[in-house]
């Protein structure tokens, strides 16, 4: 074939290759080489013994041919078939192999994520030596880093309590999939998580959806009115005290590593948990799901307006259901209804 004929044929191949590439999308290759390497592989699939001249005629810049060829060869997509000619590895062999390679890399990155996260947040904590096992935090960034360090340190369980702080409200604003994520230790076992929420957090617009998502993640949650601050305790090893209710900058919050103080904070979380009201999400015995949820929020101190917002029912319907539940329990006050419901095992 003459050079002109070869260039003409290459021009046709270029148009067809670009159309084919647009139809099936691009391969998941390295960002820098993605465009040219993908075009080169598509061209090689359609052109046995692809030449350098054909590549140039197809619009592949001459200075990218060598790195793209090396990249494709290294990833098992292309092989030399002669002097300045290349042959595509059959797609039924090359693409599954490439997919396996990317899956292996993804697995490695997922495995490394926990360790890298720990190093990342540890490096952002205050550098001065802690005083008697207590580090005073100076900002929301340091507070966030401390929470990550404490959460990552847990090997068995996490006790937590959240007051009605701006940071807790921000937590409720996270994506629901984030709340559904189950916490797993480095050994692969799920962490037991028991969390007490301040009842005022039920007023958050997304509280119902967020709390249900957290239950789906395996978290056990309860409600108690008037929590003074937020705290997270990992096993008996460390804890973080979040005082952002008193200073929204996070300054004054604490990272606690002294064993005695950690044990005291854990005991405090356990006490709050025992005093708190469980949240019922499914039908329980004589109660349907909505009634169980309403009774849980009622016991947690939620108002009729809050319960209406969380259930999607009208406030009038909530008031009627509350009266029915109180009558069934023989309660004269809402507080008494909550106490009697707990005694009966309804919540």
> If phi over 0 gives left and psi between -120 and 50 gives alpha, with beta otherwise, what is residue 252?
left
Residue 1 above 50 pLDDT? no
pTM (2 d.p.): 0.55
Question: Each residue of 150-177: pLDDT tens digit?
Answer: 988 899 999 999 998 888 888 888 889 9
The DSSP output letter for 188 is: S
Report the pLDDT averaged over residues 228-243: 95
Q: Which helix (H) or strand (E) holds 90?
A: none
Question: Each residue of 26-47: pLDDT tens digit?
Answer: 444 445 557 788 888 889 998 8
pLDDT of residue 233: 97
Q: What distance in Å separates the CA atoms of residue 205 and residue 290, rounded to the nearest whole number?
A: 17
Partnered with residue 88 across adjacent β-strands are 78
Of 44-48, 233-237, 272-276, 324-328, give the lowest mean pLDDT range: 324-328
Residue 344 above 70 pLDDT? no
* CA proximity to 164, closest of 220, 207, 209: 207
Most confidently predicted of 33-47, 204-218, 233-247, 312-326: 233-247
pLDDT of residue 64: 86
Phi, psi (deg, nearest 5) at residue 110? -65, -40
Q: Is the dihedral of CA 258, 263, 269, 272 positive or negative?
A: negative
Q: What distance in Å separates the CA atoms of residue 39 and residue 27, rounded to the nearest whole number?
A: 9
């Amino acid at each position: 074939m003459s050079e002109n004929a070869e260039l003409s044929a290459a021009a046709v191949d270029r148009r067809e290759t670009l159309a084919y590439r647009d139809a099936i999308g691009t391969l998941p290759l390295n960002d820098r080489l993605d465009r040219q390497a993908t075009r080169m592989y598509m061209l090689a699939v359609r052109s046995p013994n692809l030449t350098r001249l054909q590549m140039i005629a197809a619009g592949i810049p001459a200075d990218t041919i060598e790195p793209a060829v090396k990249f494709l060869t290294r990833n098992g997509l292309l092989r030399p078939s002669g002097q300045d000619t290349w042959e595509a590895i059959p797609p039924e062999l090359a693409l599954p192999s490439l997919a396996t390679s990317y899956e292996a890399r993804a697995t490695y990155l997922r495995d490394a994520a926990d360790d890298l996260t720990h190093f990342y947040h540890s490096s952002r904590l205050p550098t001065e030596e802690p005083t008697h096992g207590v580090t005073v935090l100076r900002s929301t960034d340091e507070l966030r880093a401390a929470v990550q360090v404490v959460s990552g340190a847990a090997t068995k369980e996490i006790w937590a309590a959240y007051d009605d702080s701006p940071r807790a409200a921000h937590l409720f604003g996270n994506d629901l999939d984030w709340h559904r994520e189950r916490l797993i230790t480095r050994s692969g076992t799920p962490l037991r998580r028991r969390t007490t929420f301040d009842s005022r957090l039920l007023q958050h617009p997304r509280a119902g959806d967020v709390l249900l998502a957290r239950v789906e993640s395996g978290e056990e949650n309860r409600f108690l009115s008037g929590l003074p601050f937020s705290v997270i305790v990992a096993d008996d090893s460390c804890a973080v005290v979040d005082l952002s209710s008193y200073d929204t900058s996070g300054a004054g919050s604490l990272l606690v590593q002294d064993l005695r103080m950690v044990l005291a904070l854990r005991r405090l979380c356990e006490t709050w948990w025992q005093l708190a009201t469980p949240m019922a999400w499914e039908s329980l015995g004589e109660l349907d799901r909505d009634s169980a949820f309403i009774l849980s929020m009622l016991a947690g101190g939620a108002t009729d307006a809050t319960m209406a917002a969380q259930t999607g029912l009208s406030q009038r319907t909530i008031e009627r259901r509350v009266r029915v539940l109180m009558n069934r329990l023989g309660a004269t006050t809402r507080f008494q209804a909550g106490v009697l419901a707990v005694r009966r095992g309804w919540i």
